[in-house]
Structure 1
């Protein structure tokens, strides 16, 4: 059941060739924990370029990361962020904002939202590329798990604004299901503590704030809010992780293997 739900999650959240089936879809929408579980797969793939951190120039590693994010995840989540950006700048009631989100025209709000988050992701990738490889890979993996945990949080505590993906996921779940999602996210914080802890926890925290904003401005959570939560959390989690490393990394020490040579790195 869980594997089927994860396959359904990967089929929806990524471009991986896992196939699509009604059984996998139904298992996915009824299992919020499938979101962070899928995050391990996606995060592991997009983190691969950071194995070359320290060997290749940071801009090269960062560019490879950005390319892998697009190749693995596609543009569905970014489209949700764009729609939310347009809705955020509209002066009107929730119904009018939802109408704007359904409009295929790209507005100033969408351009600003996409541009800001993309710039933040580029800067974060450059910063992460300057970390030790194991820390960098662990942080990118944790950020992706945190991004999917944000979506799981919306599925458990959100209120749907209208019929659609948001309602399909939210109606079958509740706050008690969030416990399982948090539990499956725990392995992502085992390496590079406390950097990874911060990266994972930013997901549900951001989701709670976004859910409250969506209730007030949109009348509830929609599929676009899910996509925006994913994109926002990824970028914010990477910056938070780098900040935690910069502020507190020197007070921990762990053994790291640097291409076969066992050394002690500052933590």
Structure 2
């Protein structure tokens, strides 16, 4: 049986995925396994902050659009923009049409190319529009939407780190966490997140509960498709791809959660 140091895993999750002042004491694969399995908890914390800021703005009389912009900005700040940066780099690598080695070199460059810029603009616009719809239906619905989306975004990281997914490079975050999560563990955490999302939606209504559940399913399906494509193009996972998966999952979840208000 593989033992996972949960306290070290929790520090790994918050120390690598957020700006919260948590000191990571272990960087080995056991700590990485725990960190990836507990990643949704880091997402929950980020989502609560985003949802609270948006809800407070709505309660203070701000527009739903302003609340949505704030709710999108908070996760970017609390993650140092790493997921958005990974999304842009992955878009540049995929958009280049180059072989894997050359595409990976493009992704490592510090600048952002046209594919990355276009992808960032469209994704952020989509996220803001979806959250504006949710906050327009009330502060509670907007807050729950922000929390569920942020949690699902970190659930996507588990899929990228599941056993059998190779690293595209021998170094970096991708290599550190590639294949560390057992498939059974990934399935258990996914079910837990699905139940929790449905429960959060139920606080607003039965229809919201079903919608939240569908959001998790849709986000996971989109993540799986994006991961398969990146594996074919790059030969495996990288830190940038992890960021891209998180943003894909968050965006799909937000779109589903914004519908039918």
Is the TM value for this pair above 0.5? yes
**1:99-123 CA deviation, whole Å, 9 max, x = no partner?**
1111223211111111111111221
Query: Aligned-residue CA RMSD in angstroms?
Result: 2.0
- Matched residue pairs, number? 244
Which structure has the greater CA radius of gyration?
1
Structure 2's unaligned 5+ residue stretches are 202-208
Q: 1:10-67, CA deviations, whole angstroms, 9 ceiling, x for partnerless residues?
A: 11111111223226x7554112321112211111111102324464311221232133
Alignment of 1:81-96 (within 5 A): 81-96=87-102
C-alpha distance in 2 between matches for 1:118 and 1:58: 16
Residue 15 (1) aligns with residue 19 (2): yes
**1:30 aligned residue:** 33
TM-score, length-scaled by structure 2:
0.85
Which residue in the other structure is 1:5 paired with?
Answer: 9
Is 1:211–2:218 an aligned residue pair?
no
Greater strand content: 1
Name the residue aligned to 2:205: none
Partner of 1:261 in structure 2? none
Look up the match of 1:190. 199
CA–CA distance in structure 1, aligned partners of residues 212 and 50 of structure 2: 16
Structure 1 residue 169 corresponds to structure 2 residue 205: no
Aligned-partner Cα distance in 1 for 2:88–2:118: 8
Q: CA contact under 8 A between 2:8 and 2:26: conserved in structure 1?
A: no
Matched residue, 2:81: 75
Determine the C-alpha separation between the residues in 2 that align with 1:204 and 1:236: 9
Q: What's the TM-score once normalised by structure 1's chain length?
A: 0.84
Runs of 4+ in structure 1 deviating by more than 4 angstroms, as ranges, are 25-28
CA distance in 2: counterparts of 1:135 and 1:159, whole angstroms: 38
Any unmatched runs of 5+ in structure 1? 247-267
CA distance in 1, matches of 2:242, 2:85: 11
